[in-house]
Structure 1
Amino acid sequence: MSIKLVAIDIDGTLLDSAGQLSEGVKKALQEAKQKNIRIVLCTGRPLPGVTEYLKALDLLSADDYVITYNGSLVQNVATQHTVFSANLTKNDYLKINYIAQKLGVHFHVSGVDAIFTANRNISPYTVHESTLVHMPIKYRTSDEMIHNDYEMIKMMMIDEPEILDHAITQLPAEFKEQYNIVKSAPFYLEILHKGANKGIALKKLAEHLAIEQAEVMAIGDNENDMAMLEYAGIGVAMQNAVEKTKAVADYITTASNDEDGVKEAIEKFC
């Protein structure tokens, strides 16, 4: 079967190490679009952190969709119609915030239009996330978080890699059973609704569009991309991907994200 939908991770995949979209990748995706292949950005970022790339790739029509928050939200780009969503609750916040405090790691919550943290000493990685996704940071105490109706889509433990890695080894077994937990960067551990990941979101979107699993290709580089690579008819790992992601891929590009690896995958399979 021919490919009808390509889901592409952003950081470490679509973009190079400097966070830039190359002309080679842009041209390859434009050519794929001309063949009526749907291009869907599938990212851990919220919508404000994706908009500039949707514009650059001309993915702003009523036929275009985007997967954000690591699969917690699937939307039509033009209408903002929600195809699928899986948010976290106030009870989730209390449990996850308590564990983060117990383990001594920084913690924040990603909402629709802001990042919330109860850490008085705000982590530089929270600041980095705020800059990356173009969302403001709002300091809110735990009491304020549970006594207001903030939409909490995903939660993140963030810290120095060695501190975070040690904390991960200390997570309770039941915690891992209650949530979908993915590492999206050496300093980011993302906690999502159990029913949310990039693979589930991609499946929901493909079904919505009446596209068969075999007609879907997914391209990624990190652990949070594994589920969508496993779901897709063709799962492509970038040359710069982590070993766990390469292990589940059907194909590994010979080129990294700094060498237009996405272009290689598009030209080979589309």
Structure 2
Amino acid sequence: MAIKMVAIDIDGTLINDQREITPRTVAAIKKASAAGVKIVLCTGRPMTGVRAYLNQLGLNDRDDEYVVSFNGALAQTTSKKVMVDDSISFNDYADWVNYCLKEGVHSQIETRDYIYTTNQDIGKYTIHESGLVSMPVRYRSLDEMARIQDQYVIAKAMMVDDKAVIDRAYADLPQELADRFSIVRSEDFYLEFMHKAVSKGSALKRLCEELNLTTTEVMALGNAQNDNSMIEFAGTGVAMGNSVPETLKVADDVTADNNHDGVAAAIEKYVF
């Protein structure tokens, strides 16, 4: 059956190591979009970190194109009509951030407008994330966060620290706390916590139901653990050549890496 939707991760997939979309990939995506194929950027980023790429691809401010952000917590048209919105409760966040403080691991949350951290000594990976997704950082104590909790929606929480620090904190995470979240590793220094129902795959499934598309009409491309759910959901799940081993295992096919037009190669192979 013909591919009618292509779901594409951003970091390590759509963009190369210089954070650029190569000309060949831009051309392949624009050709697919012009042919009526839905191009859905599926990312852990907030929308602030997606808009520039949507503009480059000619997909922004449209009622018929879609983005899945925050690893599936939010799905919307590129003209901002919300279709999926699953957030973390403040009570779950409070228990989680207290665990992070006890374990000595830097943490943050992302809303639609800001990154918030309870770490007065703001971690280097929070600063990195702020620049990556074009979102400002605000320091708030937990009691300050509690007082303004009705002013924001927690799309996702993140442990943001050196690999060894996160590995230790994750290994010791109480099962009762882990069971409240959907947890994915997007980088060695990022461990992401979302609402229990959230994944890229679940958001893509709900989007397909809305658009009356079957899984066989979907191709998904990614490179990391947080992409596995959508690669498994899609009828054609494609791993990038630079993928982590867990992602390579669940994919139907492997394309070139993100520095050698892997997305373009997959679109040319399966869409045209």
On the 8 A contact 2:7/2:41 being kept in 1, the answer is yes
- Tell me the residue number matched to 1:269: 270
What amino acid maps onto 2:189 in structure 1?
F
Q: How does 1:60-79 map to 2 (within 5 A)?
A: 60=60, 61-78=62-79
DSSP 3-state at the match of 1:217:
strand
State TM-score, norm by structure 1: 0.98
CA distance in 2, matches of 1:174, 1:238: 34
- Tell me the residue number matched to 1:88: 88
CA distance in 1, matches of 2:103, 2:3: 45
- Tell me the residue number matched to 1:126: 126
Superposition deviation, residue 220 in structure 1: 0.2
The answer on 1:99 being equivalent to 2:99 is: yes
Superposition deviation, residue 176 in structure 1: 2.4
Superposition deviation, residue 111 in structure 1: 0.6
Identity of aligned residues (%): 45
Q: How does 1:1-270 map to 2 (within 5 A)?
A: 1-60=1-60, 61-78=62-79, 80-148=80-148, 149=150, 150-253=152-255, 255-270=256-271
DSSP 3-state at the match of 2:179:
helix
Superposition deviation, residue 33 in structure 1: 1.2
On the 8 A contact 2:182/2:195 being kept in 1, the answer is yes
What amino acid maps onto 2:26 in structure 1?
K
CA distance in 2, matches of 1:260, 1:166: 36
What amino acid maps onto 1:186 in structure 2?
D
DSSP 3-state at the match of 2:198:
coil
DSSP 3-state at the match of 1:183:
strand
Post-superposition Cα deviations, 1:237-270, rounded to whole Å, max 9, x if no partner, equal: 00000000110000111x1100010011101110
What amino acid maps onto 2:229 in structure 1?
A
CA distance in 2, matches of 1:30, 1:90: 41
DSSP 3-state at the match of 1:230:
helix
DSSP 3-state at the match of 1:258:
coil
DSSP 3-state at the match of 1:151:
coil
CA distance in 2, matches of 1:135, 1:114: 6
State TM-score, norm by structure 2: 0.97
Post-superposition Cα deviations, 1:200-235, rounded to whole Å, max 9, x if no partner, equal: 000011111111111011000000000000111111
Runs of 4+ in 1 over 4 A off after TM superposition: none
On the 8 A contact 2:92/2:180 being kept in 1, the answer is no
Which is worse superposed, 239-248 or 89-98?
Answer: 89-98
Root-mean-square deviation (Å): 0.8
Post-superposition Cα deviations, 1:8-27, rounded to whole Å, max 9, x if no partner, equal: 00000000011111001001
What amino acid maps onto 1:49 in structure 2?
G
DSSP 3-state at the match of 1:190:
strand
CA distance in 1, matches of 2:147, 2:206: 32
Superposition deviation, residue 175 in structure 1: 2.3
Superposition deviation, residue 34 in structure 1: 2.0
CA distance in 2, matches of 1:146, 1:89: 11
CA distance in 2, matches of 1:108, 1:202: 26
> Gaps (5+ residues) in structure 2?
none
What amino acid maps onto 2:127 in structure 1?
V
CA distance in 2, matches of 1:68, 1:242: 21
CA distance in 2, matches of 1:6, 1:175: 34
Superposition deviation, residue 104 in structure 1: 1.2
DSSP 3-state at the match of 2:259:
helix
